[in-house]
Structure formats: structure tokens, C-alpha cells
Structure 1
Amino acid sequence: MKSNRGQILIQAIVFGSVAIFLLGALLGWASLNIKAGRQAFNRESALQIAEAGIDYYRWHLAHAPTDFQDGTGGPGPYVHDFRDKNDNIIGQFSLTITPPPLGSTLVTITATGTTSADPSISRTIVARLAKPSFAKYAWVLNSEFVRFGDTAEVFGPIHSNTGIRFDGRAHNAVTSALATYNDPDHLGSDEFGVHTHGNSLDPGSDPLPPSAVPNRPLIFESGRQFPVPAVDFAGITVDLASMKSNAQANGVYLANSGALGYRINLRTNDTFDVYRVNSVVPACGPATWSISGETFIQNYPNPANGIIFVEDHTWVSGQINTARLIIASGRLPDSPVTRTNIIVNNDLLYTNYDGSDVIGLVAQGNFYVGLVSEDNLRVDAAIIAQNGYISRPSYPSSSCGPTRRRTLFTSYGMLGSNLRPAFVYSSSNGYQSRVYIYDANLLYGPPPSFPLTSDQYITLTWEEK
């Protein structure tokens, strides 16, 4: 009997120990789950607080679009309490604001959120915001119909406020504000707002409206759309006046030359040379826009605000290296009889093609490539001809010499022309091949003071760090 009682006691002790062990393990497991749940809750709360920091600064920029110091006038980080609906502080977010580089609108906001319940837990979000610029197309055209020949190749979107005949090869979308129009290059009925007469890869003209629009991917690789909303050219005049004021205040301003204009030669050491243009090659019909005599004036450092404004015709050449510049040419107040032009006859180049090199050329009148220009000419720039056209004038006479026929014109950037552009007229007159490449960096990183299409920031990227 005593032996049985001893065995029962031993069994009770064993089972009790096991029960205590299991209960302890269960309590430990429950405690860990509660702790993990609390940590998960705090981590999620910290993320939401960080996101609230991003939302707060988006709101701040909507009311103070050029304030990148959170209204303090001093460096960050900028710490804000985060409160619940009962006005209790339940956490904080800390903001670091990286302002846009010169000429860009790209703002980087880094927000780190923490909770009062567990300050050791933090979550960080990085958001990039920007305003879109006028430079969203490889070509944007305003008030006259335009034709791209069968040797034109365009890498980037094309838009016209009027009609487009496109016979080359478009690697991106081609759009027009018109549903139909009567092409002035030939007699006949109305045609589609964007239409083609074909090329060697896909010969034959489009059918006439109201027929269905054919796909034609060998010409329109990314399709065509019409009608779409028109692009506003009118606001560029205001921006030209602003550029002049900014150049006079903190840039480089060149008054009327008293001669034919200026030549600006950009250099890779963050300076540029200025020459006074004294004479040009005699006209052989149209003006040649080609320099025959000039005088060196001065070497300038690139201006702090990146703006060069010239109240005269301006020839531009050279190369930059990690510079962001805009060269504007105009006489204000605007008058059709005094408008000035920008001319590029020699290569205008970037060193870097990652967005760190940017050139803007804004002509009050026209952008020209003259008679004596490079046979293979490359222009790296965002170009706007505010009231005129982007063009190489026609030099039909043999008296103009061999340079009236050129081989290849390449544009890297964007081109905006108020009037109809033209670079080729015949097999002996103009650039026989044209390649237009859109620089996507320009959309949110345009040249300084370049026109914007919106005054509102949009979110480009949002990621947890």
C-alpha cells in the first residue's frame, strides 16, 4: 500500500512538472505573440506616421512651392509631433528635404516615423515629387500643319495643335489636337489629324475619314491619337520676360550688341566665351546665318542661376560638363519686327547623358541652322521657337555652294516650334536625314526657368527605405 502511494506521488510530481513546463511554455508563447503583435502594430503605426509626414510636406509645397526648409529658414531634419483624434501625441515624424538641383523641379522627401509606445521602432519612406515641364515631347508644334518626310526618325512623343503628316518612323505616340484637316501640301479631301502617305517599309496612303484608322505599326510603332487637348504656347512669353529679369538679377545679361549679334561658345570648365558677330556670309537668296567675322569680348563663368539672356541674335556652340544652362534670346516688349533668333551651325553637346547636363535654347523668333553648318550636326538641347519656326532655311540656288546639301541633323532633347519646321527641301537642299531623340530627363529636370505645364507637384516615386 505504501509502495502504491509512493508511485502515485512520483507520477503526480512528474505530471505536475510536465504541466508546469507546458503551462510555462504556453505562457511564454503567448507573451511572445503579444509582444510580436505589439511590435507589428507599432511598426505599422510608424509606417503610417512616416506616410503622414510625406502627405504633410506635399500639402506644404502646395502652399509654399519654393520652401524646402519647412518654413523654418534653417537646415533639417524637421521633427513634428503626430497626434490622434483626441489630440494625444502618439508619435513623431522627422523630415529631410532635398531641394531640386538648379533648373529642376525634383524634390526628394525622406520621412521617418516613430511611435511614442516604442521609439526604438522606426520606418522610413522616400518620395520624389516634381512638376512636369513643357519638355514632354520630342516635337511639339503649334499653329501650322507639319510634315515629317520618309527619312525622318523620331524617338519620343510628337504633338501638334494642328495636323501632322508623318511618313517617317515614329518610335513613340504621335498626337494631334485636330480630328481631321485638309493637308495644304496637296489638293484633296480632309484627312486624319495624324495621317501618312507611307514610306518604303509601309507604302500607300491612309484611307480618308470617316474610314477606320489603320494601325500601321511600321510607321507608328506606338500608335497615334487624335483629337487630344491642345498644348498652350501662350504662356512662354511670360516666361521669357521672367528669364530676362532673372538674368539681370543673378545671371548673365547681354544687351544689344550694336552689330549683328553675339556668339556664345560653351566650355566644359563651367565658363563660356562671348564674341560679337561683325559680319556674315553674303546671302545667296535667303540669309545665310553663317558668321564670317567676329570679335572676342569676354569669358564668363556660368551664372549661379544658370540663366543667360541676350537682347540680340545669338549663335551658340560648344560643350558642357555637369552644367545646367538656359540661353534665351529676345527683345522686350515683344514686337514682330524686332524679334531675335538663335542659330546653331556647329555641334552643341553634352558630356553626360544622365540628366546632369542640360541646355535650354529659347528664341523669341526662330531657331535656325544656317548655310555653313556641319555636315553631321548634333544639337543637345531643349529648343523652343516661341513665335517662329525651327528650321534650316531653303538654299535652292547652286550659287549657295556645296554646303546647301547636308547629310545628317541629330537633335537630342526636345523641339517646340510655333510655326512649321523644315530641314530638307530636295535631294540637293537641306539635311537629307534627320534623327530626333527625346531626352526623358527634361520632363522633371528641365533647364533653369524653362516653362512648366503645371504648378502642382506630382508624386513620381514612393518607396520604403
Structure 2
Amino acid sequence: MQKSSRGVTTLIVVAFMGIFLIVMGTITSYVFEQAKYGRALHAREQAIAIAESGLEYYKWFLAHNPAILVSGSGLISPYTHSVSDPEGGAVGSAEITATSALQCNRVQWIDLESKGTAAIDTRFPRTILARYMRPSVAEYAFLLNSNVWFTSSNLSNGPYFSNGGIRQDGLNNSTVSSAVSTWNCTTSYNCNPAQPSAPGVVGSGPGFALWQYPVASIDFAGVASNFGTLQTLANTSGIYLSGTATYVAGAQQGSSYSSVAASDQRGYHLVFNSNGTVTIYRVTATNGSTQGYRTETGQWHLEYDVITGETLLGTFTPPSGCSVIYVNAKAWIEGTVSGKVTVVAADTGNYAPDVLPVNNIGYTTTDGSTGLTVIAEHSIRFPINVPNTMTLRGIFVAQSGYYGRDYYYAGYTGGYDSYILRSSLTVAGSIASNVRAGTVWFDSYGNVTNGFQTRTNTYDQILAFSPPPFTPSTSVDYGLVLWREQ
């Protein structure tokens, strides 16, 4: 019996030892796996830090080689940036690939891809993508250089900014920012009684939690476009309407014609087509019997905005490598845009032309591949004969004038009294105005008597960081945007 007991005890001991060895093996294996996982995790974290270091290095490189940002010449890609620890030696390396977006042989932005690899384990690289560019007016729903009143019938979906004071009575779903701490809010801005020292943003709007003042100002002189340069680029590689001839990529299209430049009564009518072309007319006659009152001047003006005579010049395709249309005259625009294109209406002489959205403007796609920027040397004005329900897509810049619609008085519209009051204006994009903007007028009782009864402004989030060529910038400083891991 004793020998049998000892045998059982031996079996039990052996069994427990086996179980113990299995458990210990499992624990040891788990510890080793966790250590391996920890090293891999550490390598991954080092890799993302190395990739960030690569982006910052290339940002420094571009900042110290500004000539690259003109034509892209001198761009080094791919480039390997080594990262070292002063005490521990080499940490890893980042391989940076840089790709410049060119229009008219001018850099619009530079896309960067930085792949970071840690020296401790090269199996876990990580890649960061970013865009190196200047901030543009496309990042705002409204960008203004003067005091403004957003009425209760105005809905804003996107950042609003003004270098002056803001009366905000409408609904804002994003920030409303003013560069001033106080301003003189008079009755013309719906402050009744007037507030000589009103807060930078004041009003009855419900979105006051998003009001900001004072904030840093934006130099509107810096927003200005270099019209001489744009004229040369369009004449060489884009579409150039000189006033007496039409050029595409430097080649004259058809015969010369009598000048339509430097005149409020003549100009060009651009109709964008969904196939990517633009049909251009030479405006030879306008109705000069409409009178409009402008806040900009505080005076009544005889307007020549309704087209009564025009001649077809042709249908043209903006060159893909230089999608700029430079109009050396007053311009009327409408249609459906395909692809990205910029229209500039300017005169390097003493005349500063306006751009008139005469009808709806739409996009064939809304995925960021289509976009329109319109830059007027003076104003973006809505003529009296616009549609009752009007929709616009685009980035509209009134460089020295205003964005808006004039005040009209029945009996002095040249037969367009029924157009004085319009139903709605919906803008998807951005508006930049140097002088006080406004597309609606009220009587002393608060009733809408002129312009668009309701206005909705929504900025285009996609085009904010991939705008059409030569969209004006709000700063001379470049930065990294659209930071994301691949």
C-alpha cells in the first residue's frame, strides 16, 4: 500500500509540474509578445514623430528658398531627412515627396508627403500628408473691410470676418469676428438708438456664443491681386479679352473689333457651359434708363446693366494649364462651371470695371474638382434684372468696391419695376468686399422694399483649401493645412 501511495504522489507531482510549466510557458510567451508589441508601438510612435519632423524641416526649407514658391523650380523631391538624438544617435529618417500645383507656370500650393521610419524597427513606417499654402479668402463665407449689418433674414453657414464693426441680427452657425473692440453703430445698421461705442459684434442674433472681438485684423491691401501679372499670364497662356480682340493661349481668335473697354455701357458677357467651355459675347448696347442708389457713393447713378445688344465672339475652352480669363472691361457672368477657373475683370488704366452676376451660376460637381473665383477690380453688383430666386456658387471678390445690389425706385427702373424686390439669394462659396456690402434694403418700419428678401451664405469647405487659381490670399505667410495621416 505504501508503494502504491508513493506512486500516486509522484504522478500528482509530475502533473502539477506539467501544469506549472505550461502556465509559466504561457506567461513567458505573453510577456515576450507584450515586449514585442511595446517595441512595435514605440517604433510606430517614433515613426509618426519622425514624419512630423520631416514636414517641419521641409517647411523650413521652403521658407528659406522663396524662389521655389514662384515657379516650382528648385523643388527637391524626394528628399531624405535624417533625425538624430544628440545623446542616442540616429533615431530614423523621413522621406519627403513634394508636388507643386501649377497654374500658368505659377505655384498655387505644394503638397507634401512625409514617410517616417524609426531606426529601432523599420517595419512600421508612418506617412503624413499636408499642403503648404497661404490662407485664402475662400476660408470665409464673408470677408469684409468695413462695418456691416447682417439682418434677421440672413443665414450664415461659415466664418464671417470684418475689419469694422458687425451688427449681427441673423442666425450664424459659425464664428462672427470683428477686428475692432468698439464702433459707431448708427441707425443705418439697425442700432436704434445709435450706439457710439457699440461692442465689436452687437445685435439680436441667437449665435452670440460664436461672436469674437477684437481679433487680429486682415490687411485688405494684401488681399489685392496683381492685375498686371494676371493680365500677362492670361494673355500668354489663358484667355485674354483685351477690349478689342480675343486671345486664347496667346493666339488671337477671329478679327479685332471696336473697343468695349473702359466703359460702363459696354463689355463682355460670359456664359459658362457644363462641358467646360465658355461662350463669350461682346456687349455692344445696354439699357441706360435705370437709376440706382449706391451706399458706396451716397448718390444716384444711371446704370447700364441690362444688355440690349451683343455679338457672339465664340465658344472657347480655358487652357487646363492656365485657367484664367482676364477681362479688360466690364463683365456679365452666368452659367454652369466645369473644372476650376478664375475670372478677373480689371483695367490697368484709370477705369475700374465691375462684374455683374446676371443669372444663376452653378457647378457640374461639388467634390472640389469644380470651382469659380471672380475678382472685380471695383465691385460685384447684382443688376436689376436678376432672377427672382437666385443661386450662386463661387468665390466673389470686390477688390476696391462693394458686393451688393443698388436701391431702386419705382418709375425710374426703365420698365423693370417688378424686379425691384426679389425673393431669395443663396450663395455657396465666399464673398470679399472692400466697401460695405448689402443686397437688401428696408424702409423705416423694417419692411424689405428692395433687393433679396432672404439671403443664405454657406462657405465651400472643400474649396477653402483647394481654391481656383490665383484666389486672393489673406496673409503673405505660408503654413501647413489639411494635415492627415495616410
Q: Which residue of 2 aligns with 1:393?
A: 406
1:49 lines up with 2:58 in the alignment:
no
Secondary structure class of the residue paired with 1:229: coil
AA aligned to 2:60 is W
Select between 290-299 and 98-107 the one with higher mean Cα deviation: 98-107
C-alpha deviations, 1:215-266, integer Å up to 9, x for none?
A: 9774445443333333211124443333223222322221124121111111
Residue 234 in structure 1 maps to residue 240 in structure 2: no
C-alpha contact 2:169 2:204 (8 A) present in aligned 1: no
Partner of 1:173: 175
1:247-303 residue CA offsets vs partner (Å, 9 max, x unmatched):
223222211241211111111212111110011123233314111111111222123
**Which of residues 113, 125, 130 in structure 1 aligns to 2:128?**
125
1:133 Cα deviation from its structure 2 partner: 0.8
Rate the CA distance shift 1:30–1:231 in 2: closer, same or farther, 3 A.
closer
Aligned residue runs from structure 1 range 271-290, under 5 A: 271-285=277-291, 286-290=302-306
Partner of 2:375: 362
Does the 8 A contact of 1:370 with 1:392 survive in 2?
yes
**3-state secondary structure, aligned to 1:235:** helix
Note closer, same or farther for the CA distance 1:70–1:91 as it changes in structure 2 (3 Å cut).
Answer: farther
Within 5 Å, give how 1:263-412 maps onto structure 2: 263-285=269-291, 286-303=302-319, 304-321=321-338, 323-333=339-349, 335=350, 338-400=351-413, 401=415, 402-407=417-422, 408-412=424-428
SS state of the match for residue 58, structure 2?
helix
Within the alignment, does 1:440 sit opposite 2:461 as a pair? Answer: yes
Question: Any conservation in 2 of the 1:277–1:294 contact (CA below 8 Å)?
Answer: yes
Match of 1:417 in 2: 433
SS at match of 2:368: coil
Contact 1:330 1:363 in 2 (8 A): yes
Contact 2:178 2:201 in 1 (8 A): no
Displacement of 1:44 after TM fit?
4.0
Q: Does the 8 A contact of 2:186 with 2:193 survive in 1? A: no
**Could you tell me whether the CA contact under 8 Å between 1:62 and 1:456 is conserved in 2?**
no
Q: Which one is further off, 301-310 or 33-42?
A: 33-42
Secondary structure of the residue that 1:61 maps to in structure 2? helix
Q: How big is each residue's C-alpha offset from its partner over 1:329-355, in whole Å with a ceiling of 9 and x where there is no partner?
A: 11115x3xx111111111111222333
Contact 2:278 2:315 (8 Å CA) reproduced: yes
SS at match of 1:448: coil
Distance 1:214 1:292 in 2: 44
Residues 1:152 and 2:158 aligned together? no
Using the alignment, how far apart are the partners of 1:320 and 1:85 within structure 2?
55
d(CA) in 2 for partners of 1:207 and 1:429?
A: 23
Residues of 1 paired with 2:407 and 2:202: CA distance?
Answer: 34
Verify the 8 A CA contact 1:93 1:113 in the aligned structure 2.
yes
RMSD: 4.0
The answer on whether the counterparts of 2:187 and 2:193 sit within 8 Å (CA) in structure 1 is no
Judge which range, 433-442 or 78-87, deviates more. 78-87
SS across alignment from 1:326: strand
Q: Is the 8 A contact 2:43 2:120 kept in 1?
A: yes
Aligned mate of 1:450, from 471, 475, 478: 471
Per-residue CA distance 1:128-185 (angstroms, 9 max, x = gap): 5543112332222224x43334433332233332233344333333333333333454
2:93 and 2:60 mapped to 1: Cα distance? 17
Q: Tell me the amino acid that sits aligned with residue 270 of structure 2.
A: I
* Cα distance in 2 between the residues matched to 1:442 and 1:156: 13
How high is the TM-score relative to the length of structure 2? 0.76
Residues 1:80 and 1:289: Cα distance change in structure 2 (over 3 Å) = same
Tell me, in whole angstroms, the C-alpha distance in 2 between the residues paired with 1:387 and 1:214. Answer: 24
- Aligned equivalent of 1:140: 143
Residues 332 and 355 in structure 2, CA contact (< 8 A), matched pair in contact too: yes
> Sequence identity of aligned pairs in percent?
28
Q: Structure 2: any 5+ residue segments left out of the alignment?
A: 245-258, 261-265, 292-301, 443-447
Q: Secondary structure at the match of 2:465?
A: coil
Provide closer, same or farther for how the CA distance between residues 208 and 87 of structure 1 changes in structure 2, counting only shifts above 3 A.
same
Match of 1:190 in 2: none
* Native 8 Å contact 1:288 1:372 kept in 2: no
Aligned partner of 2:113 in structure 1 is 110
Which secondary structure does the structure 2 equivalent of 1:140 belong to?
Answer: strand
For residue 262 of structure 1, the aligned residue among 251, 260, 268 is 268
Contact 2:138/2:430, CA 8 A, preserved across alignment: yes
